[in-house]
Amino acid sequence: MNNVIHNREKPRRRLLRFRKIILSIVLIFTLLASGTAVWAYLQLTSGLPQVEGEYEASGLASEVDVYRDENGVPHIEADNDEDLYYAQGFVTAQDRMFQMDLSRRQASGMLSEVVGEDALDSDRYFRTFGLRRAAEDSLDAYDEETLAVLEAYADGVNDYISHMHTENERPVEFQLLGYEPEPWTVLDSLTIGKFMAYDLGGNWQGQAFRHWLANNASEEEALDLMPTYPNDGPVIMDTAKNMDIDIEESFADAGSYQPKPFNGSNNWVVSGEHTESGAPLLGDDPHLGLDTPSIWYETHLNSPSVNVTGVIFAGVPGIILGHNEDIAWGVTNVGPDVQQLYMEQQNPDDPNQFLYEDEWYDAKVVEEFIEVDGYDKPFLHETIITRHGPLISEYSHEKGVIGDEALALKWTAHESSTEMQALIGMNRADDWESFSTALEHFHAPAQNFVFADTDGDIGYRANGKIPIRTDDDDALFPVPGWTGDHDWEGYIPWDELPTIENPESGMISTANNQIDDEGYDYHLSHTWAQPYRHERILDMLDDDGSFAADDMKAMQMDVQNMHAEEFVPILTAAVADEDLREIDEDALGVLTSWDKVDDKNESGPLLFHLWMNAIPHVLFAEDIPESILDIFEGEANVVDQLIREAAEGSPGPWMKKNGGLSVVATEALQLAVDYASDAQGDEPEAWLWGNYHRTAFDHPLGDVAPLHLLFNPSPKPVDGSSITVMAASYNDETGDTNHGAGWRGVIDLADLSESEHIVAPGQSGHVMSDHYHDQLLDWVDGNYHTTSMVPENYQSESTHLRLVPN
């Protein structure tokens, strides 16, 4: 019996031991998983800023207080300017160091050092373009005070970088890419400034496109796509004098006009005679790329010489848009013709010599070594710089634009400039005169500044270096560089730039539209923005009401689609009914009943935008290569005009060769319907704009799966489009928003102690921060936060970090 029991217990013991082994294995894996989770958490939270307590800073003369409010906005209080900008550099680096490093690397052509071969083409392009060379040339133009500001800012950034090194607290992006940032320099800040001029000041692609067109299409076809501006189109100088604009009449005889190849910006200012408070109101929402983190960083700076708040680019000291205790200002892009392509004659016996006025001269040759991660040795890059600027021929050759000619680029921002000096002066200005004086140092990019002060004055200025061209040059095409006949004749005198002070209307607004008509003595540009945003702004301003800040915010969130107001009737009347399918007819029914509002919960916006996007494909796909269409400056406005002329009975060659407006409209409609039905089903009334048009705010590392799950926010349906005041331009293929107002600001001059803001998607660049994406839904819904300049207001609800000298 005992043997039986003993024999029965053996399997039980073996089973118990097996269970113990399994439990041990499970426990080990659990501990490993937990350890991995803990390790991953520690990596993700590494580098989160210290926001409370005390930090010993090596470069301070006295203590600095940093209060971060509930929206992550730092309020920096310092006893002197050097400490103020030191602290700004340190604090900005705490929140945005990876963004800052990536920005300087992209602008300087140094991305491939950390990214690898995939970035080499980008690096070669920016080395050729020479943003960092232009920044270096600007150093000697700055006064000692501005250089001291830049040095102090760089010292503050380097304090944070040193802390990263010594404490091994690197933001997770640096860990993933396996590198640490190099020390920050004054040149890095200036190079980022030059990059913004690059981002906002290009017209050479349009010249290249038109050159291709002139050589590859008939003369009639080329002329059909040339830019002009309507005789009765709204202009800034005129609308400031007379705001009573009849929208339908403004479009009646519209000519062909082009926008800039980027989605523009809005700003406006109204005097006290139009406000509830009796003081001016100012709204500004500049439109740039929509990314994570935001291109904008909100900050409040306070020292004995300055008390200013607003937004700035990470990596640059001061405030570029916002207000102080006396004035407020905002900008949109002027978009003038500040670039010129020159066809150069190269010496067949010496490729580094070029002809000018019958003599050969030696071009400057710049050789640079580009470090490339994964390469055994650096890549040697050569830039040839002619008297007109660097040769960019290969970038045109790659697109098949300019045969074999050597092509040089002249650009205002290649010259030395002093925007940082202007910025410091703007921050301290207390009236229109002192503000305007500061703008004398702001050269590139040219910007439409609107202004208001507590005395009730409002003003406008198109400010920046804008070239004067010879009588025969119109900036439409590349010109010969060897004759000397096409060299610029200087720049528009500063005191002759378009300016408005206290107009009779009491209102000034800009939306990248034309500045002045033939009455202005100088050429500015051929390519102005489509009129729809500005027409809608004028419509809302011209309601004879007394405005409050909430009205300004509502204007910035307005999504009335005036493009559709004009073109839905034209296109629906043009389609060939006999060729329509049942689903096409259903879709047209949805479109004709649509209220012309780009609402994310409506189907009309989806069909309209897909339809308009399909028309260029029908018109040009067979004749113009896709790579050439990529540089078609102002394509949308040109297409609008082709449709108008055809509807008026005067179709141009592009319409005729594709069968006329009826055929083009019908084919494009069916392409749009097919796309929508494939994506959202066969019931047009169930289609939703918001299922296609969604927020993106992609992080630079979010393109790499599965990192997008970590860094990119979940897409959210969003109103608006590229032509509504609430601008949300999008990728045609995906519908993801990629361009718009990353910052919206409304400033009431009745009380400059506070102002209203949205900084999307948030203040922080740290994925584990509470302020990483906390303003994304605010951006979608138009929920502004209030930023106060009153210490007792922001100190009571803020974290407090004391920076003390060590």
Positions at the binding site for Ca(2+): 337
d(CA 740, CA 732): 15
Among left, alpha and beta (phi > 0; psi -120 to 50; other), residue 725 is alpha
What is the spatial distance between Cα 695 and Cα 700, in angstroms, rounded to a whole number? 15
* List 103, 108, 112, 265, catalytic entry: 265
Q: How many Å apart are CA 692 and CA 695, to the nearest integer?
A: 10
Is 266 strand, coil or helix? strand
CB of 261 closer than 8 Å to CB of 634:
yes
Beta-bridge mates of residue 459: 451, 501
Q: Helix (H, G, I), strand (E, B), or coil: what is residue 771?
A: coil
Give the contacts of 375 (CB within 8 A, at least 6 positions apart): 117
Side-chain half-sphere CA neighbours of 778 within 13 A: 23
Q: Kind of pairing, strands 479-480 and 339-344? A: parallel
Instruction: Give Rg (Cα) of the chain.
Output: 29
Annotation says 721 is catalytic: no
Burial class (CB in 10 A: 0-12, 13-18, 19+), 236: buried
Residue 118 DSSP class: G
DSSP state of 48: P
Alpha carbon distance 550, 539 (integer Å): 17
Do the beta carbons of residue 99 and residue 312 sit within 8 Å?
A: no
Which of 552, 526, 692, 682 has its CA nearest to residue 608? 692
What's the length of the chain? 806
**Which residue type sits at 3?**
N
Q: Which of 717, 694, 672, 688 is nearest to 603 (CA)?
A: 688
SS3 of 180-247: the string is CCCCCCHHHHHHHHHHHHHHHCCCHHHHHHHHHHHHHCCHHHHHHCCCCCCCCCCEHHHHCCCCCCCH
Q: State how far the Cα of 298 lies from the Cα of 743, in Å rounded to an integer.
A: 9
d(CA 691, CA 743): 24
Amino acid at 6: H
Identity at 122, one-letter amino acid code: S
Which residues define the annotated binding site? 337
Q: What is the DSSP letter of 231?
A: T
Q: Rounded to an integer, what distance in angstroms lies between the CA atom of residue 374 and that of residue 368?
A: 18
Q: Which residues contact 418 (CB under 8 A, 6 or more apart)?
A: 138, 141, 142, 146, 441, 442, 443
Nearest alpha carbon to residue 383 among 369, 372, 373: 369
Nearest-CA neighbor of 283 among 562, 557, 597? 557
Q: What are phi and psi for residue 768, nearest 5 degrees?
A: -95, 5
Specify which residues 407 forms β-bridges with. 343
Residues annotated as catalytic are: 265
